[in-house]
Structure 1
Amino acid sequence: MAFKVIKPGMLALLQDMGRHGYQHLGVTTGGPMDELAFRWGNALLDNDSNAAQIEITFGGFTVEAQQSTSIAITGADLGATLNGKGILPWQTYAIQKGDVLVFQQPKFGLRAYLAVKGGFLATSVLGSVATVMREKLGGLTGKGDKLAVHDVLPFHSTTQHTARHVPRLAIPNYEQMEINVVTGYQFKHFSGLERARFFSSTYSVSQNCDRMGYRLEGTAVGQDQPGIISEGIAYGAIQIPNDGQPIVLFRDRQTIGGYPKVGCVTSFSGALLSQKKPGDRIGFRYISVDQAEHERHLQLARIHQWR
């Protein structure tokens, strides 16, 4: 009653919605980089919204089914095949014993999610199975290990399967360049020229991008900003270091930092950014807190109504 890992690929991690309530101890949340894709994966299978899935970055991941089940694939199109036949993301598939599921290389996007009926089974650490490699927490071993050859991913076997797919209008456009930003209290410390420069410039994703954060390359802003006393770091915080090149912090971010912040990307715009590869280009768009809340409520309500 499990999937056996044949090839682990570049980075495949067990994730749930994250480890919350411990940031005051220096423990970050972890969780899915693309929250929207993760939520849809569980919705397709009528799973609990926190049921564990596999986050597959860049592909190269192969598993063999040891028993029958039902799966859902969401997020990036990594050229997945089932027994050699191409399959598409954002829908469910029936799995039989001996079936081989392969994720190849990105066609669009960067991270795909593999959900199984009932969720993958693992022992939680601090209330979560989310894998944070830097902190050596979560995952199959509880020690933050990424998936490796011969790992066994247990689940509850089932022969029940319902063919479902995510409505086309609900599938995000991973080619979208605009990333929504809510400004924070430090925004007023940047000059009007620097603010305009930030929101009018195009940035490229650098090679330094991972689950901790994305370093961007483009027009420098805020180089004359003094450092600040270290403070708590929110998801999506856009730090401006001394070189003026923005850093967007994500799920595995450090819990405190001392760089000034121009604002935060929203949770679902952060999901779009997390699907960008090195060299991809983006721009930032200002939205209000009310608009950000409306965006989130709309996405969550769409999933709830579909369920």
Structure 2
Amino acid sequence: MSGFKVLQPGLLTLIQDAGRFGHHRIGLTTGGPLDALAFKWANRLVDNPMNSTALEISIGGLVLEAETDAQIVLAGAEMPLKINGIEQERWHAHRVKAGDKVEVGFSSQGARAYLAVSGGFQIEHSFSSSATVTREGIGGINGEKLQQSDYLHCHPPGEHRAFRLPEEHRPDYFDDISLRVITGYQQHAFSDYQKRLFFSSEYTVTDRADRMGYRLEGPEVKPSFDGILSEGICHGAIQIPADGQPIVLLNDRQTIGGYPKIGSMIAMDTARMAQLLPGSRISFEEITIDDAHNLHCLAHVRFNNTEPDQVD
């Protein structure tokens, strides 16, 4: 066989590709990487297509044994990477050989890291994607997080270019950040005072923060009504439930919901938020949809124009 054996699965390691799109109509959510930028860099640094299947490691603790020769890379949160007990640079492709032990330690900054292998992990697709959504029991291996003794199949060794991302291009993962929000049509359910309160206050990430959504704690925001007819929910939607504490919905969100929404966070910033641990502080900044389009286009151009260094 050609692949990696899971010796220790870590706290929460999930098999993910770019996500499961086009299935909301039957109630299946998107899944995919919480930090799409780190995920894309992980694949790019081992010369993979952007949708190749990788591992999303939350907090850390993953140990694998290679049973193939391959290139691997770890991108994202500051989790130490060791190969055969020797610490290696993150954001840098490394050769491993059959019998090598790959360890990802626990994070000192940030919450999610992505381990990619040359050629991608070979996982059977469910509804056009390998993305694991444990709430729905779909994707990955039996719809579950990684388990001890799982086997991650890979392509046999081949010729792949390998790269390193220079430090000046690597993202920083801060604990105190401002996140950009586009207000939606339901903003009219909130008075001017309530909107000013929301956009001028600081909120704390609670321990109820997961792939479905980040529950925040801070000044209560109250809409003029308690609920609406259930409707489709977009990625980054900020729901305000009865207790007035915002919930930012993420990749594994339910596809419909009935809480009023003050707006939606842009995808670039949901990725930054998903790198926050409980206790981190955030604030919100209102931007227009035109601003959001410009930011998205600039980020796309920046990613494509950033040339990593090729390594031997």
- The answer, yes or no, to whether TM exceeds 0.5 is yes
| Cα offsets for 1:165-211 (capped at 9, x unmatched) | 22444322210511111111111221111111111111111111110
Amino acid at match of 2:278: P
Match of 1:55 in 2: 56
- Does the 8 A contact of 1:223 with 1:243 survive in 2? no
Amino acid at match of 1:19: R
SS of aligned partner of 2:203: strand
Q: 1:138 to 1:214 in 2, by over 3 A?
A: same
> Counterpart of 1:30 in structure 2: which amino acid?
G
Q: How many residues align?
A: 305
Paired position in structure 2 for 1:157 = 156
* 1:38-66 alpha-carbon deviations (Å, 9 max, x no partner): 11111112211110000001111100111
In structure 2, what is the equivalent of residue 182 of structure 1?
182
Counterparts of 1:70 and 1:49, CA distance in 2: 16
Q: Which moved more, 1:49-58 or 1:288-297?
A: 288-297
C-alpha distance in structure 2 between counterparts of 1:276 and 1:109, whole Å: 6
Contact 1:54–1:114 (8 Å) recurs in 2: yes
Asked whether 1:17 is paired with 2:11, we answer: no
For the aligned residue pairs, the C-alpha RMSD in angstroms reads 1.5
- Whether the 8 Å contact between 1:223 and 1:241 is mirrored in structure 2 is no
Corresponding position of 2:261:
261
- Asked whether the 8 Å contact 1:69–1:160 carries over to 2, the reply is no
Aligned-pair CA distance for 1:305: 2.9
Q: What are the within-5 Å matches in structure 2 for residues 67-106 of structure 1?
A: 67-106=68-107
Retained in 2: the 8 A contact 1:71–1:114? yes
Alignment-mate amino acid for residue 186 of structure 2: Q
- Is residue 2:114 matched to residue 1:113? yes
* TM-aligned CA deviation for residue 271 of structure 1: 0.4
Unaligned ranges ≥5, structure 1: none
Q: Which runs of 5+ in 2 are unaligned?
A: 308-312
Larger mean CA deviation between 244-253 and 281-290 belongs to 281-290
Distance 1:216 1:51 in 2: 32
Identity among equivalent positions (%) equals: 45
Q: For 2:286 and 2:190, how far apart are their aligned partners in 1?
A: 15
Structure 2 length-normalised TM? 0.94
Task: Tell me the TM-score normalized by structure 1.
Answer: 0.95
Aligned to 2:310: none
Instruction: Determine if contact 1:92/1:162 at 8 Å carries over to the other structure.
Output: no
How far apart, CA to CA, are the structure 2 residues paired with 1:86 and 1:196? 48
Alignment match, 2:171:
172
Give the equivalent residue in structure 1 for 2:221: 221
- What is the one-letter code of the residue matched to 1:109? G
